[in-house]
Structure 1
Amino acid sequence: MSKQKLQYACHRMALPLYPVVSQPFFLAYKAKQKLPQIIVKPNTRYYPSIKCADKNNGSHENIALPIYQPTIWTHNFIEALDVNFPINSREKVKELDKKAMQLNFDYENGGLSILQLLEQIDDIERLGLDYRFQNNIRRALNIITSVNENNIGHEEKERSLHAASLRFRLLRKHGYNVSQDFLLRFKDSQGGFMRCLETDVKGLLSLYEASYLSFEWERDLHEAKLFATKHLLKLKCQENEAREDINHALELPSYRRMLRLQARWYIDAYSKRKDANMLLLELATLDYNMVQSELKKELQEVSKWWKNIGLASKLSFARDRLVECFFWSVGVIFEPQYNFCRVELTKVYTLITVIDDIYDVYGSLDELVMFTDAVKRWDINAVKHMPEYLQLSFRTLYNTIIEIGSKTSIAQGEDIIPVLVRVWGELLEAFLLEAKWTHNKYIPTLQDYMDNAWRSVAGVVILTHGYFLINQEIKKDVVENLEKYDDLLKWSSVIYRLCNDLATSTDEIARGKTANAISCYMHENSVCEEVAREYIKFLIDKAWGEMIKARVAYFQESTDPFIDMAINLARISHCVYQYGDEHGAPDARAKERVLSVIVDPIPIKDN
């Protein structure tokens, strides 16, 4: 093992995941090598002599400023989108849905085998149809939990690893408290996994997917992940029909994927299967296109709002990312009944993006202090003597929050505006602290950074707005009920932050920002960027474990859509930042994803 790998292995074994109250974050190991010099690579987003604020004296003069690429999605393009979904297709969806409701979800009365039932549920969920079958799926899972898992799959011995792993994954995904002990029957007398499993492609894929729903202390599942990954890597190099499935799984496990992108991919993959249920396939295809047509209408609605407020044209230093923000909203919650939530969340996302750029690249420290104070006091008169760009930003934020708060408060009978103002104030305080660190050229410890950074990533703001927007039918204790989801708010935000930092650290270092998980860990532990990146990925895995633990703890509230919304925020974070900063610097891959989810329908094959 190389020295760097040995150092990283020591980290993985010894260091706890923050936040830990009883001891400092990093205790076990300090690398001896010096911090390597950070070399800034050329980036086409950076140009000299652009007007911006001098952070030292508050004036706006010619100094280097990052210039973000312009949006590729014009208002005219959005307005020209074909939003029509043919009436005959809509009627066909109703017809297919009615037939699909007759699908057999029964096990006890001579219906499907447990394995068939598990696979049917898995197909429905991956096809993006689970929102239509929620009650059926819940009843079926309740039945499955009552069946002795040792009996599952024995009628088809070669598929038993697949059946047992699939059972575990689906139950834990839905919050059931299931044990990892199912793995014991697949181990030999020496405690390792049986050699006969090494070529069981279907079993390995199911085991691999199940291992990503483990808790931190479940050693057998961690060993299963290593075992499955090792042998899937070998198998994908061989000629076999499962190569595409293997590559897709190894790229990112299904539990961490954005739901709409996963559905689009799976519809295509499912159509190639000989055992595909043609009723489900046709329904999934038409349903995808129908939902997409509604998304186009919502995008057109929010595009008019974005054009009318004029932030993009008046604040040229900030990112114009309306469509990307809408893509985030779709990733957080896609179901058609939450159209109002998506529109309003997109407004929140765009304001977060613009205000983040004010704190990151444009505003002077004095201006940022005044702006933060004005938002915390929610005093529109406090911005009268501020620069015009801050007045415009405050007015837009003020009007948007009042509009959202008023609509939801009327529906719920409880004033939620103070809650929205509070989370915005906390977000701007977190922005301000990072601006001060940059101003003072201070690099905090990773623990100190993360104590602030899981808030500065704005996950709490997004999810708080989302909670009220999707729970408008709740008439009692709506504010108090939000508090019970603190763990979901925190851990989804941690994953969001760490995924963001993996993608944006190079650009942030280039523009002088000192606080980033990568740079903080490099500085504190005197390690190179590669080691720091591996450690941050390790922390992402641990945060997912905490998220899954919270999901199981909230089993009694399992039908609350907010739980899935919080998990979806972590999923869309992986999607947007997996190959770079597709929010700040969207590339061809980002464009293709937007097209496939929002713009281009799935072609319908003629019978």
Structure 2
Amino acid sequence: MSYFLIKYLIKMENEEIVRKTSKYHSSVWGDYFIQHISPTLDTTKESSVKRAEELKEQIKKLFQETSDVSELMNLVDSIQLLGLDYHYEKEINVALSLISAADVKNFGLYETSLRFRLLRQYGIYVPAEAKWGIEKYVPTLEEHFSISLITTGYPVLICASYIGMGLVATKEAFEWVASFPKIIKASSMICRLMDDLNPSELEQERDLAASTIECFMKEYGMDEKETYKKLMDMLEDAWKDHNNEYLNSTLVPRLLIERAMNFSRAMEEFYKYTDTYTNSKARMKDNISMVLVESVLI
């Protein structure tokens, strides 16, 4: 480990990271789903325990042998998604320090989004919006969208939804979605605008980066009512672009295009009238209940 890396790690340990938090209501489901999980396999057998330890050592070796930052990010991401990150806290902390210090100028959309999410998820300051919020900087609309369309998470979520789709999700399909095509950009714009046009009380209380509304008001000198109307027009234009691409795109199979459409529809369900994502006690609870709790006669 180089002198500069050691010095960087020491600096990171000594710096106090201040992160704004919100007080969301507790889960409306209580322990319902915990009680209804299928019984797990018996891991108390000696052979199972021994095999688990062997696999843990193999993963630790992967951390030591992986030098490419992109591969390292995917390794951390996979372990975290499997819920096994608590086994590798030391290795992940070292990996995150390397990821944070990496040169990102040649990163594509996928790598940039993944890096941002991993660092923020583990509480590391990312100038990845956070910097703007702390400095009270209100960016131009172009600056705002260049970051906020990515931090909606939609480009990554749509890409991730292709996993497990079988032969239809080809290498070319992932390259297409990672290039931020027009329909993915439109879907992200729908997500961004609907979220900002229907802010929750919790979001308003937090010291966040400037919203789309604030950026527009400052840049164009309009009041909130005029700005709201203009942004509703932008939302309408985003839907037009989205639907045009949905009907006419031939670059990838229809099944992949439909995933983007479904994500956009989800935003309509979450934010069309009020923020039911943040406050899920009413309509959103009923929707989830109908899908996952209530039985359906076949």
- Please indicate the TM-score interval, normalised by the length of the shorter structure: 0.5 to 0.7
Q: Which residue of 2 aligns with 1:425?
A: 115
**Structure 2, unaligned runs of 5 or more:** 1-13, 41-66, 84-107, 121-125
Q: Is the 8 A contact 1:505 1:518 kept in 2?
A: no
Q: Distance in 2 between matches of 1:59 and 1:588?
A: 38
Q: Which residue of 1 aligns with 2:95?
A: none
1:437 CA drift (Å): 0.2
Of residues 182, 207, 217, the one that matches 1:487 is: 182
Of residues 216, 229, 249, the one that matches 1:534 is: 229
Residue 242 of structure 2 is aligned to residue 514 of structure 1: no
Q: Which residue of 1 aligns with 2:240?
A: 545
Q: Distance in 1 between matches of 2:266 and 2:147?
A: 21
CA 1:508/1:480 → structure 2, altered by over 3 Å: closer, same or farther? closer
Q: Which residue of 2 aligns with 1:451?
A: 146
CA 1:375/1:571 → structure 2, altered by over 3 Å: closer, same or farther? farther
Q: Is the 8 A contact 2:193 2:231 kept in 1?
A: yes
The percentage of counterpart residues that share the same residue type is 21
Of residues 12, 24, 42, the one that matches 1:68 is: 24
Q: Is the 8 A contact 2:28 2:280 kept in 1?
A: no
1:561 CA drift (Å): 1.0
**Counterparts of residues 453-468 of structure 1 (less than 5 Å):** 453-468=148-163
Q: Is the 8 A contact 1:505 1:516 kept in 2?
A: no
**Counterparts of residues 302-317 of structure 1 (less than 5 Å):** none
Q: Which residue of 2 aligns with 1:311?
A: none
1:463 CA drift (Å): 0.9
Q: Is the 8 A contact 1:420 1:465 kept in 2?
A: no
Q: Distance in 2 between matches of 1:582 and 1:71?
A: 14
Residue 16 of structure 2 is aligned to residue 59 of structure 1: yes
CA 1:550/1:60 → structure 2, altered by over 3 Å: closer, same or farther? closer
Q: Is the 8 A contact 1:491 1:547 kept in 2?
A: yes
Of residues 570, 583, 588, the one that matches 2:277 is: 583
RMSD, aligned α-carbons: 3.8
1:72 CA drift (Å): 1.5
Q: Which residue of 2 aligns with 1:78?
A: 33
1:534 CA drift (Å): 2.3
1:538 CA drift (Å): 1.5
Q: Which residue of 1 aligns with 2:164?
A: 469
Q: Is the 8 A contact 1:502 1:518 kept in 2?
A: yes
Q: Which residue of 1 aligns with 2:77?
A: 397
CA 1:446/1:505 → structure 2, altered by over 3 Å: closer, same or farther? farther
Q: Which residue of 2 aligns with 1:17?
A: none
1:495 CA drift (Å): 0.6
1:533 CA drift (Å): 2.3
Q: Is the 8 A contact 1:488 1:550 kept in 2?
A: yes
Name the SS for the 1:582 alignment partner. coil
1:569 CA drift (Å): 0.6
Name the SS for the 2:269 alignment partner. helix
Residue 135 of structure 2 is aligned to residue 440 of structure 1: yes
CA 1:495/1:427 → structure 2, altered by over 3 Å: closer, same or farther? farther
Q: Distance in 1 between matches of 2:128 and 2:110?
A: 20
The count of aligned residue pairs is 229
Name the SS for the 1:66 alignment partner. coil
Q: Is the 8 A contact 1:376 1:421 kept in 2?
A: no
Amino acid in the other structure paired with 2:148: A
Q: Is the 8 A contact 1:505 1:519 kept in 2?
A: no
1:400 CA drift (Å): 4.0
1:377 CA drift (Å): 5.5
Residue 178 of structure 2 is aligned to residue 502 of structure 1: no
Amino acid in the other structure paired with 2:144: Y
Q: Distance in 1 between matches of 2:177 and 2:217?
A: 36
1:448 CA drift (Å): 1.5
CA 1:428/1:502 → structure 2, altered by over 3 Å: closer, same or farther? farther
**Counterparts of residues 9-24 of structure 1 (less than 5 Å):** none
1:554 CA drift (Å): 1.2
CA 1:66/1:58 → structure 2, altered by over 3 Å: closer, same or farther? farther
Q: Provide the TM-score with structure 1 as the length reference.
A: 0.33
Amino acid in the other structure paired with 1:439: I
Amino acid in the other structure paired with 1:67: K
Q: Is the 8 A contact 1:427 1:455 kept in 2?
A: no
Amino acid in the other structure paired with 2:33: I
CA 1:68/1:488 → structure 2, altered by over 3 Å: closer, same or farther? same
Name the SS for the 2:26 alignment partner. coil
1:454 CA drift (Å): 0.7
Q: Distance in 1 between matches of 2:200 and 2:34?
A: 35
Q: Is the 8 A contact 2:141 2:219 kept in 1?
A: yes
1:542 CA drift (Å): 0.4
Q: Provide the TM-score with structure 2 as the length reference.
A: 0.63
Q: Deviations over 1:179-217 (max 9, x none)?
A: xxxxxxxxxxxxxxxxxxxxxxxxxxxxxxxxxxxxxxx
Q: Distance in 1 between matches of 2:109 and 2:128?
A: 21
1:517 CA drift (Å): 0.8
CA 1:436/1:547 → structure 2, altered by over 3 Å: closer, same or farther? same
Q: Distance in 1 between matches of 2:145 and 2:131?
A: 15
**Counterparts of residues 404-423 of structure 1 (less than 5 Å):** 421=111, 423=113
1:479 CA drift (Å): 4.0
Name the SS for the 1:519 alignment partner. helix
Max Rg structure: 1
Q: Distance in 2 between matches of 1:534 and 1:595?
A: 35
Q: Is the 8 A contact 2:109 2:180 kept in 1?
A: no
Amino acid in the other structure paired with 1:587: K
Name the SS for the 1:432 alignment partner. coil
Q: Distance in 2 between matches of 1:525 and 1:481?
A: 34
**Counterparts of residues 551-566 of structure 1 (less than 5 Å):** 551-555=246-250, 557=252, 559-566=253-260
Q: Deviations over 1:167-186 (max 9, x none)?
A: xxxxxxxxxxxxxxxxxxxx
